[in-house]
Structure 1
Amino acid sequence: MANGLKERIHYALQDARLHDAVRRAVDHMKNQKKAAEPQIPYEAFRERAREIRNHTEAHLDYYLGLFAENVRKNGGQVHFCQSGAEAVDTVQRIALRRHAKSIVKSKSMVTEELHLNHALQDQGIEVIETDLGEYIIQLDGETPSHIVGPSLHKTKEQVAKRFTEIAGKEIPSDPHALTAFARKVLRQKFLHSDIGISGCNFAIAETGSISLFTNEGNARMVTTLPPVHIAVMGMERILPCLADLEVFMNLLPRAATGQKLTSYVTLISGPRQGLEVDGPEEFHVVIVDNHRNNLLGDEYQEALNCIRCGACLNACPAFRHTGGHAYGSVYSGPIGIVISPLLNEHDTAIQELPYDCSVCGACAEACPVKIPLPDMIVRLRNRNVRRGLTPRTERMAFTQFGIVFSDAKKYKIVLKTGRALQKFVSKNGRIDAKLPGLSGWTSSRSLPQVAKTTFREWVQNGLLEQLKKEQGGK
């Protein structure tokens, strides 16, 4: 895979099978979402969700403290980690103390952000992703392509081929057969694992509980069968009280996949107690900052309101054509364009992501918590300019652009010059030549010619005379 953004986009655009798989998947989820919205007062739910998230972020220290206090009252342990490295080290120390040899995981974007799997594998621990989509991409050594559907860029034929290699026998490309094979393999992993690691959709400050929204039963086995459960969560995943969860139980599944309710909504409030027959002996919550605190009180704070539904990805025309891997970041699509540069301030390569966007506004319309993603993307572009991260040729070009457009005489001279020179590079009224500085445009679409008469010239030469006639020569 190519390293630069342009190279990754070019690579993705050449893959017709990837393009077709992504298109079919996002179209399905987008259409399902549209059909599910009228089932509830959707706009009212969006506004209420936005209010809850804004309130929580404004009082995050209080709610985090209340959540930690209640987790401890329930018998759990809380670990606050300022950096990603500290969070990884915390999980590694728990695994080392428990002499863990095998870990099963349910789907978690924050552990992807921390590259936790690789760190644990470096300790000699077997780490198995048990979400079907995550399991598929783990076998191929890939990262998630989509927040909700990590393997949506793959066809069932590709998955069948990989499963056949592992099984040593033919596995049909029928979805039921593929699921049955994965179930058979993973069940043994659940039964013999030492630690289960999950993410956290929402943490409830009032009760000290974490909630998991899943469509597969794997998360319940990950959090119930192993003797130790570690929940890794971004610090912003807090909700004030259990009543607030109802809003997101209705909103999240509809925004993500068009479901009325996620198949499994699980609330976990600590380790096994007293006469309880299932659940872990130890329950740990690892709360990760990893630069999120820098966004509090900032113009980008609302980016922390994201509930990881993937609706903005499904609505995005750029994502539709390239899939998630072209972004070169754990988080793809419009929300990835915003939060990846903010969470990776010193990674100059990631800072180019805001340019992978047409600023069409579809993501803002799709977002269930009304995050103003297009506004943030434009501000990130402006930040890049202020930091001098844009190419030198681009800065020079816009400097000249400013000089020309700030002076009427220079503007007219440039127009006349362009009108005279364009006849050498145009055909049938369009410019398709790969001109220096414009080839990014003309390589995939035609550039319109400079008009024979500009609007200003038309007004000056004709419209005023016409108006005089209509007014009787006055």
Structure 2
Amino acid sequence: MSPQTGPGLPWARLLRAGARRGAGPDGAAPGPPRFADAARDALADTDARRSRAAAAEARRTAAARGRAAEDDWEGLRRRAADVRARSLDDLERLLVAFEKNATAAGARVHWARDAAEAGRVVAGILGPGAGAVARSSSATLGELRIDEALRGGGAEVRPAAVADLIAEARGDGGGAPRGHDRARARAALAGALPGASAELPADPGALVGAARDYLREVLLEARASLTGANALVAETGGVAVMESEGNVRLGAAAPRTLVTVAGIDKVVPAWSDLAVLARAWSRSATGAPMPPVLSTWSGAVPGDGPQEVHVVLVDAGRTRALADRTGRQALRCIRCTACMDVCPVYERTGDGPYGAVHTGPIGAALVPQLRGTRAAREASLPFASTLCGACGQVCPVGVDIPAVLLELRARVVDERRAAPVPPPEGVAAQSAEWVMSDERRYRKAQRAWERWARVAARGGRIRRLPGLLGRWTEARDLPAPPRRSFRDWWTGGGSAEGR
């Protein structure tokens, strides 16, 4: 019999489903945990949550001050959105132009379909026995796990940014976490910096100074340097990176070999377009009128700087995202982090639960498109949002993140509906439909619920439902049912005394 008509609905299975929280939409092997489950430890860490909240407040204040100082912020925002939209609409032509002009400038351009191919390309560029390789902070390098590919071939990959150095010392996967508290940063750096004193102070200036001295040596000693890119300028074949530390600039000048790995979505038509994006990025990221450090290069110059310049252009799901009429706007992202600074979910959980270097609201919108939504974690990301809309309001390139998340939620629901094994929420919906389609069944279920709920209630509230239903009461209490239901009161004539 079908679930809608058969008498034996799987209530017990529904209640037991709380133990299968990591299962994917088709009931396959769990794999990485869902966002909600991975966030539990982060939510329980009060000190880290306070550090993230304070850091987010400071960044919000700086960005708001910067936007207010802009003569026409909304006009700049429209121009930046137009640059990114036009770039994606004309992506094929711009990529061909970039390759042509970068090659003419002395760079070598490579293409990679996915992360595995990108790793092989970079490893082939550096060759066997690559030695010390300095890796600048880059979401794309982290997304593609280039470090792992190179270390597997014997290269010694060293982070060249303070946040990445702290993350590696603490064993954090993915990218560089934001909002470190001072004590933990001091402990991580004391263990990571050769010869660091056990008395290394927790003062931010002292920590940054000690890390800077070490990272300068890393960059100067490296045989090769790996970077990402904020933009690829088709007009000249140039690469542009916006940063606050300056490690990319030194890394792009000192080593003999320079390798830039970038998604194909980073291309823009001209330098004038880059100027618009740089101003929008800076106002949203730091509040300043322009980035603290803007580095550009377009090829090898004999006798000056790197003598081998390579650019690896990577798809890794971007053409699939580009084909999605709603979701493609997530590819406009310029990595300013403004959406993270206003997101109540990200502020409380940090980077870890997202399981990727693309985190926060934009990560929840982008990662499921790049990786698909069959795995439990990726399928859960679109739901890691309150849909308050703050992220869309501050995005400097006009990405309507809530709209993308809603589209992805619908996709996840459709995939689960088509799965051979219905997910727990599907069982719940079918069960509710079966019960509520018949008055007698509904009345019996209501009375059974009332009896159970009165027993389970404490002080007029139910604080924990069993099994899968318990997810609802993890963050809220459920009022106990009244002494007399509305149906009984109505049947009894609706007298005031019976209420």
Q: Which amino acid is the alignment partner of residue 398 of structure 2?
A: K
Aligned to 2:28: none
Cα deviation for residue 434 of structure 1 reads 2.8
Aligned to 1:164: 190
Map of 1:233-248 to 2, 5 A cutoff?
Answer: 233-248=262-277
Aligned to 2:477: 446
2:337 aligned with 1:310: yes
Between the aligned partners of 1:61 and 1:215, the Cα distance in structure 2 is 31
- If asked which structure has higher relative contact order (CA below 8 Å, sep 6+), I would say 2
2:65 aligned with 1:39: no
Q: How many aligned residue pairs are there?
A: 450
Aligned to 2:359: 332
Aligned to 2:24: none
Instruction: Pick from 92, 98, 109 the counterpart of residue 67 of structure 1.
Output: 98
Cα deviation for residue 179 of structure 1 reads 1.8
Instruction: Evaluate the alpha carbon distance shift between residue 412 and residue 66 of structure 1 in structure 2; reply closer, same or farther with a 3 A threshold.
Output: farther
Aligned to 1:154: 180
2:324 aligned with 1:298: yes
Aligned to 1:471: none
Instruction: Evaluate the alpha carbon distance shift between residue 433 and residue 349 of structure 1 in structure 2; reply closer, same or farther with a 3 A threshold.
Output: closer
Q: Deviations over 1:253-299 (max 9, x none)?
A: 221232322111112121114xxx63211111100001111122313
Q: Deviations over 1:158-204 (max 9, x none)?
A: 22223333425221111222122112222222222111111100111
Q: Which amino acid is the alignment partner of residue 16 of structure 1?
A: T
Between the aligned partners of 1:213 and 1:402, the Cα distance in structure 2 is 54
Equivalent position SS for 1:196 = strand
Q: Which amino acid is the alignment partner of residue 73 of structure 2?
A: Y
Cα deviation for residue 415 of structure 1 reads 6.5
Q: Which amino acid is the alignment partner of residue 318 of structure 1?
A: V
Aligned to 1:211: 240
Contact 2:186 2:207 (C-alpha < 8 Å) held by counterparts: yes
Contact 2:454 2:481 (C-alpha < 8 Å) held by counterparts: no
Map of 1:285-434 to 2, 5 A cutoff?
Answer: 285-299=311-325, 300-345=327-372, 347-388=375-416, 392-402=423-433, 422-426=453-457, 429-434=460-465
Between the aligned partners of 1:26 and 1:291, the Cα distance in structure 2 is 30
Instruction: Evaluate the alpha carbon distance shift between residue 46 and residue 403 of structure 1 in structure 2; reply closer, same or farther with a 3 A threshold.
Output: farther
Contact 1:324 1:333 (C-alpha < 8 Å) held by counterparts: yes
Instruction: Evaluate the alpha carbon distance shift between residue 372 and residue 102 of structure 1 in structure 2; reply closer, same or farther with a 3 A threshold.
Output: same
Between the aligned partners of 1:37 and 1:155, the Cα distance in structure 2 is 27
Q: Which amino acid is the alignment partner of residue 48 of structure 1?
A: R
Cα deviation for residue 140 of structure 1 reads 2.5
Cα deviation for residue 426 of structure 1 reads 4.0
Contact 1:233 1:286 (C-alpha < 8 Å) held by counterparts: yes
Aligned to 1:185: 214
Between the aligned partners of 2:111 and 2:485, the Cα distance in structure 1 is 66
Aligned to 2:172: 142
Cα deviation for residue 406 of structure 1 reads 7.4
Given the two structures, how large is their TM-score scaled by the length of structure 2? 0.83
RMSD: 2.7
Instruction: Evaluate the alpha carbon distance shift between residue 409 and residue 251 of structure 1 in structure 2; reply closer, same or farther with a 3 A threshold.
Output: farther
Equivalent position SS for 1:350 = helix
Contact 2:450 2:481 (C-alpha < 8 Å) held by counterparts: yes
Cα deviation for residue 437 of structure 1 reads 4.3
Equivalent position SS for 1:258 = coil
Contact 1:341 1:347 (C-alpha < 8 Å) held by counterparts: no
Contact 2:174 2:356 (C-alpha < 8 Å) held by counterparts: no
Between the aligned partners of 2:210 and 2:294, the Cα distance in structure 1 is 25
Equivalent position SS for 1:232 = strand
Q: Which amino acid is the alignment partner of residue 356 of structure 2?
A: S
**Runs of 5+ in structure 2 lacking a partner?**
1-30, 495-499
Contact 2:137 2:164 (C-alpha < 8 Å) held by counterparts: yes
Instruction: Pick from 280, 290, 295 the counterpart of residue 261 of structure 1.
Output: 290
Between the aligned partners of 2:467 and 2:115, the Cα distance in structure 1 is 43
Aligned to 1:30: 60
Contact 1:435 1:442 (C-alpha < 8 Å) held by counterparts: no
2:108 aligned with 1:77: yes
Cα deviation for residue 69 of structure 1 reads 0.8
Q: Once structures 1 and 2 are overlaid, which stretch shifts more, 262-271 or 428-437?
A: 428-437
Aligned to 1:466: none
Between the aligned partners of 1:433 and 1:270, the Cα distance in structure 2 is 62
2:296 aligned with 1:270: no
Contact 1:225 1:278 (C-alpha < 8 Å) held by counterparts: no
Instruction: Evaluate the alpha carbon distance shift between residue 382 and residue 313 of structure 1 in structure 2; reply closer, same or farther with a 3 A threshold.
Output: same
Aligned to 2:43: 13
Contact 2:177 2:350 (C-alpha < 8 Å) held by counterparts: no
Q: Which amino acid is the alignment partner of residue 384 of structure 2?
A: D
Instruction: Evaluate the alpha carbon distance shift between residue 172 and residue 403 of structure 1 in structure 2; reply closer, same or farther with a 3 A threshold.
Output: same
Q: Percent identity?
A: 29
Equivalent position SS for 1:387 = helix
2:159 aligned with 1:133: no
Instruction: Evaluate the alpha carbon distance shift between residue 412 and residue 46 of structure 1 in structure 2; reply closer, same or farther with a 3 A threshold.
Output: farther
Contact 1:102 1:125 (C-alpha < 8 Å) held by counterparts: yes
Q: Once structures 1 and 2 are overlaid, which stretch shifts more, 218-227 or 412-421?
A: 412-421
Contact 1:134 1:144 (C-alpha < 8 Å) held by counterparts: no
Cα deviation for residue 450 of structure 1 reads 5.8
Instruction: Evaluate the alpha carbon distance shift between residue 427 and residue 82 of structure 1 in structure 2; reply closer, same or farther with a 3 A threshold.
Output: same
